[in-house]
Amino acid sequence: MRTLNVSVLTDAVKTLCMEANYDLGDDVIQSLRTWKEKEESPTGREVLDKILENAAIAGKERVPLCQDTGFAVVFVEVGQDVHFTGGDFQEAIHEGVRQGYQEGYLRKSIVSDPIERKNTGDNTPAVIHTDIVPGEKVRVILAPKGGGSENMSEVKMMAPAAGIEGVKSFVVDRVRRSGANPCPPVIVGVGIGGTFEKCAQIAKRALLRPVGSRHSDPYYAALEEELLDMINRLGIGPQGFGGRCTALDVHIEVHPCHIASFPVSVNMQCHVSRHREVIL
Amino acid sequence: MPKPKSITVPLSDEAIEDLRIGDAVLISGVVYTGRDSAHKRLLDALDRGEQLPVDLTGQIIYYAGPAPAKPGHPIGSIGPTTSYRMDPYAPRLIARGLKGMIGKGNRSSEVIEALQQYKAVYFGAIGGAAALMAKSVKNAEVVAFEDLGPEAIRRLEVKDFPAVVVNDCHGGDLYKEGMETYRRD
């Protein structure tokens, strides 16, 4: 049994909130650089150039890449041999978000009630997904999620008869209908299977994979590449101004499902793909 | 990409007629921020027959809610938010003299028609390039609805703010044309 004071969790979340919002991942930067060379549209190349310049400014000046510093989505994998002391586990995470968004000059974008819409003023609460895993470590992944791309996401309960072609047309059509709204170039998280809520959750998890990485199953790896090609034939391009580079990548996650069900989900992610993690 | 056109706010009808979809522009002068809640309040004020807290004649609204300013900076990171959410409000403001909007994403047919009828223009800014765009903001002050926090209306003095003409007053739509140009079946 390992004892861990929840203040360690608060400090970790606070730091991750700032780092995730200031520093664009190397995988995204590398992909944007590659696309800057390949993009056929002159306006598209200019947009990619400005996105890269933005990342350099944000990283150097320690200011947020995007003004929408997102909903703080936190994935925590807790080793079953860890015993938290010193306070409430979830409140410790919310406190880390509170401190990180306040001290990091990050925008507070959360309203307490979806109808009344009053800003909570400190970007809390976080959305917390907790898994209990073997061991005595705690892995914390913080993924701030912007509203523009989240709004273009969808879960569809398809009939099993729709099959693989149904998946392809749903995913590609979701990107086509989103146009410029989710700030392309996007990263497309796809969930196939599970229940209604599991399907959405695995699409979100899929967004945590590095750009350029492929699914471990060759079937789904090939499907990711095929979908990426189909999406980049749409012509939407950087910021929707027209061009080849509509998506930097497509990541699929799969889960077993009910004999009657075939849920498919798309979680859209803008080019400001933010996620940072730490192991405690 | 051709050399950007420098334009100054307030925008004249002649300046607007000169703009075509795909034009890169550098905007200088004053722009006002406004997004969901601020638009609702502006339209509620019109419904009650009240004066608007800012005179929008010839002006540009930037659909944006900035990050907090760090000490020594006039403003925090400030990129565009998605424009369709302001579509229900925009035509009425355009009819009252609003000449430009900066945002990202498709507009409704009602907004696009209003641009033609009243000679106005919709600019797309680069979503997510918010630290870069903050560099173009030289001064910022809250002028209405301070209680809305990031959604308050701010008066920004901008110099060479980069944007692209997405919908012009001639009925052009860069999102449609750009996609058609680069689509591969």
- Secondary structure (3-state) at A201: helix
On chain B, the residues whose CB falls within 8 A of the CB of A53 are 129, 132
Taking only the tens place, the pLDDT of each residue in A193-219 is: 999 999 999 999 999 999 999 999 999
CA A109, CA A42: separation in Å to the nearest integer?
Answer: 34
CA A27, CA A277: separation in Å to the nearest integer?
Answer: 15
pLDDT at A212: 97
Residue of B1, B63, B148, B179 best to disrupt the A interface, most CBs of A under 10 A: B179
On chain A, the residues whose CB falls within 8 A of the CB of B33 are none
Residue of A36, A53, A62, A67 best to disrupt the B interface, most CBs of B under 10 A: A67
Does the beta-carbon distance from A41 to B174 stay under 8 Å? no
pLDDT at A138: 98
Does the beta-carbon distance from B175 to A45 stay under 8 Å? no
Backbone torsions φ then ψ of A147, nearest 5 degrees: -75, -35
Helix axes A6-22, A89-103, angle to 10 degrees: 40
A183, A272 in Cβ contact below 8 A? Answer: yes
A165 half-sphere exposure, CB direction, 13 A CA radius: 2
Q: Which residue of B has its CA nearest to A103?
A: B70
Residue of B25, B73, B132, B136 best to disrupt the A interface, most CBs of A under 10 A: B132
Q: How far is the alpha carbon of A240 from chain B, nearest alpha carbon, in Å?
A: 6
Residues (pLDDT < 50) of chain A are none
B95, B118 in Cβ contact below 8 A? Answer: yes
Does the beta-carbon distance from A180 to B175 stay under 8 Å? yes
Domain limits at B28? Answer: 5-182
- ipTM associated with this complex: 0.94
pLDDT at B185: 84
List the CATH number of the domain containing B18.
Answer: 3.20.130.10
pLDDT at B1: 55
Does the beta-carbon distance from A105 to B106 stay under 8 Å? no
Residues (pLDDT < 70) of chain B are 1-2
- Secondary structure (3-state) at A2: strand
Joined tokens for residue A173 = 């059509």
**Type and span of the H or E element at B144:** strand B137-144
Does the beta-carbon distance from A54 to B132 stay under 8 Å? yes
pLDDT at B3: 84
pLDDT at B2: 63
Q: Which DSSP letter does residue A217 get?
A: S
Does the beta-carbon distance from A67 to B79 stay under 8 Å? yes
Q: Which residues contact B166 (CB under 8 A, 6 or more apart)?
A: A241, B21, B107, B122, B123, B124, B173, B174, B175
On chain A, the residues whose CB falls within 8 A of the CB of B131 are 54, 57-58, 61, 63-65
Domain count, chain B: 1
pLDDT at A184: 98
Helix axes A218-231, A163-178, angle to 10 degrees: 40
pLDDT at B114: 97
On chain A, the residues whose CB falls within 8 A of the CB of B65 are 67-68, 107, 109
Pairing state between β A247-255 and A186-193: parallel
Does the beta-carbon distance from A43 to B185 stay under 8 Å? no
On chain B, the residues whose CB falls within 8 A of the CB of A270 are 127-128
